[in-house]
């Protein structure tokens, strides 16, 4: 598959080298046209530099493309650095440090993490106030399992694994289910999936943390039975025939929120125009990434060694709605695709952040007494997104609430009554 895709890229002039050369030309043209960036005519960003972290995942593409295509420079921020992080724990640690302490100012980040940092939950009890400036994507994650679970037909319904996991536990070999960070999106997706099938993630399995790029290697080594992670790692697992995709997270909740553009709140407060400029650059990148005609060029860039470092064939098909589950199921032209801009993918809906906090309360990551809406209003800066949208001449949603959200098992989350949603979940761990 990789060879076929490389040939197609070469035929259309979109080899990785060609994409990088084209990007350099775009950047040079932007600098020539806008010597001081897009803000040259008015009050520009207070600084030209920021350090932004990312993890090797397809949904980091907006940050990578904003850098590679000169969009940060266009918006007056030519010295923005986009820096690879080894894990979400490393992202957390570097955000705690801040760039002044040798760390980073912001990041491509799991949407709940800015809240857990602000609350001090994951930073040793010391609050590190954060802001969410944009959502980076909808969808584009999956739950993958070992080939041995094909026999019990584990798919969107996890119930088939219940007996097998019980047998493993009885034999003293409790099933290991991996996610990427406690209280993060992947932790919440796999817990929801397990619990919906009657499997208690607190007692029936052992949940472990594995960095995204290490998921496939760990499955190959037999150290885990299932995992939840973003692409391209689920696609790579299937391509290497190590396991199969049980379900896409968009099958659990269609058009669900995923990563965010998070920044330290002190940085945003000190450099508000720079924060808006970074947001605008990322939004422009999201628009570019979402155009079907740009998918192959995007993959040529983000698959590079300094970024995701995988064959293009591990990324491109699922971005185009072609999904080989690895167990005989397949989709083509599917609506289950990662979205960067369509369907208001970039807008940081406060109602979505409220769901994340409600689920973190459900699983004991946050105390039941958490003032969830107070925390959302402190962290979520949809006002900055709206200001950036105005500068770009694009429309913004009228409000901050997307309304009730329906899940595959029939559960409904109404942002007006999160307590009712929590009460409707039979399996939980409140503290």
Q: What is the mean pLDDT of the chain?
A: 92
Highest-pLDDT range among 8-22, 39-53, 306-320: 306-320
**2-138+257-321+338-405 and 141-255+416-424: same fold?**
yes
**Structure confidence at residue 338 as a pLDDT band (50, 70, 90):** very high
**Structure confidence at residue 404 as a pLDDT band (50, 70, 90):** very high
Average pLDDT estimate for 190-209: 98
Please indicate whether residue 30 or residue 191 has the higher confidence score (pLDDT): 191
Lowest mean pLDDT among 2-6, 190-194, 369-373: 2-6
pLDDT at residue 13, as a whole number: 37
Average pLDDT estimate for 234-243: 98
Answer yes or no: is pLDDT of 112 > 80: yes
In this structure, whether the domain defined by 141-255+416-424 belongs to CATH 1.10.760.10 is answered with: no
pTM as predicted: 0.91
Give Cβ neighbours of residue 35 (< 8 Å, ≥ 6 apart): none
| Domain positions in the chain | 2-138+257-321+338-405, 141-255+416-424
DSSP 155-193: SS-TTHHHHHHHHHHHTT---EEEESSTTSHHHHHHHHH
Contact 13, 56 (CB under 8 A): no
Average pLDDT estimate for 36-44: 56
Average pLDDT estimate for 144-163: 96
Report d(CA 54, CA 57) in Å as an integer.
Answer: 8
Answer yes or no: is pLDDT of 224 > 70: yes
Both ends of the chain: CA-CA distance in Å? 48
Name the superfamily (CATH) of residues 2-138+257-321+338-405: Periplasmic binding protein-like II (3.40.190.10)
Contact 189, 142 (CB under 8 A): no
Answer yes or no: is pLDDT of 38 > 70: no
Q: Which token pair is 58?
A: 């397809």
**Structure confidence at residue 147 as a pLDDT band (50, 70, 90):** very high
pLDDT at residue 1, as a whole number: 38
pLDDT at residue 43, as a whole number: 85
pLDDT tens digits, one per residue of 95-104: 999 999 999 9
């Amino acid at each position: 598959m990789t060879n076929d895709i490389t040939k197609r890229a070469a035929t259309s002039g979109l080899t990785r080298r060609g994409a990088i050369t084209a990007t350099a030309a775009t950047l040079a043209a932007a600098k020539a046209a806008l010597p001081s960036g897009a803000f040259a005519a008015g009050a520009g960003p207070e600084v030209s530099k920021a350090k932004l972290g990312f993890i090797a995942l397809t949904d980091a593409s907006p940050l990578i493309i904003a850098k590679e295509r000169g969009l940060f420079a266009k918006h007056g921020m030519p010295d923005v650095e986009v820096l690879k992080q080894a894990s979400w724990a490393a992202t957390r640690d570097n955000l705690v440090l801040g760039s002044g302490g040798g760390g980073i100012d912001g990041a491509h980040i799991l949407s709940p993490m800015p809240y857990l940092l602000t609350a001090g939950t994951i930073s040793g009890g010391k609050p590190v106030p954060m802001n969410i400036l944009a959502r980076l994507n909808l969808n584009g994650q999956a739950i993958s399992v070992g080939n041995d679970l094909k026999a019990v037909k584990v798919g969107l319904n996890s119930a088939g694994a219940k007996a097998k996991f019980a047998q493993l536990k009885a034999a003293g070999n409790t099933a290991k289910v991996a996610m990427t960070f406690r209280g993060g999106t992947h932790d919440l997706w796999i817990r929801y999936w397990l619990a919906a099938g009657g499997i208690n993630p607190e007692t029936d399995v052992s949940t472990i943390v594995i960095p995204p790029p290490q998921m496939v290697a760990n499955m190959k080594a037999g150290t885990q039975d299932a995992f939840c992670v973003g692409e391209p790692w689920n696609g790579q697992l299937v391509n290497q025939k190590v396991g199969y995709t049980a379900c896409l997270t968009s099958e659990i909740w269609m058009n669900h929120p995923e990563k965010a553009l998070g920044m330290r709140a002190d940085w945003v407060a000190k450099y508000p125009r720079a924060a808006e400029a970074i947001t605008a650059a990322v939004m422009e990148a999201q628009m570019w990434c979402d155009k079907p005609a740009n998918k192959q060029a995007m993959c040529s860039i983000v698959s590079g060694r300094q970024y995701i470092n995988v064959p293009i064939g591990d990324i491109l098909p699922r971005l185009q709605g072609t999904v080989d589950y690895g167990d005989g199921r397949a989709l083509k032209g599917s609506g289950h695709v990662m979205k960067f801009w369509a369907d208001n993918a970039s807008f940081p809906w406060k109602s979505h952040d409220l769901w994340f906090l409600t689920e973190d309360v459900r699983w004991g990551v946050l105390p039941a007494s958490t003032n969830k809406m107070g925390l959302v209003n402190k962290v979520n800066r949809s006002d900055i997104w709206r200001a950036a949208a105005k500068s770009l001449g694009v429309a913004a949603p009228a409000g901050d609430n997307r309304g009730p959200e329906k899940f595959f098992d029939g559960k409904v989350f109404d942002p007006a009554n999160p307590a009712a949603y929590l009460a409707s979940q039979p399996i939980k761990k409140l503290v």
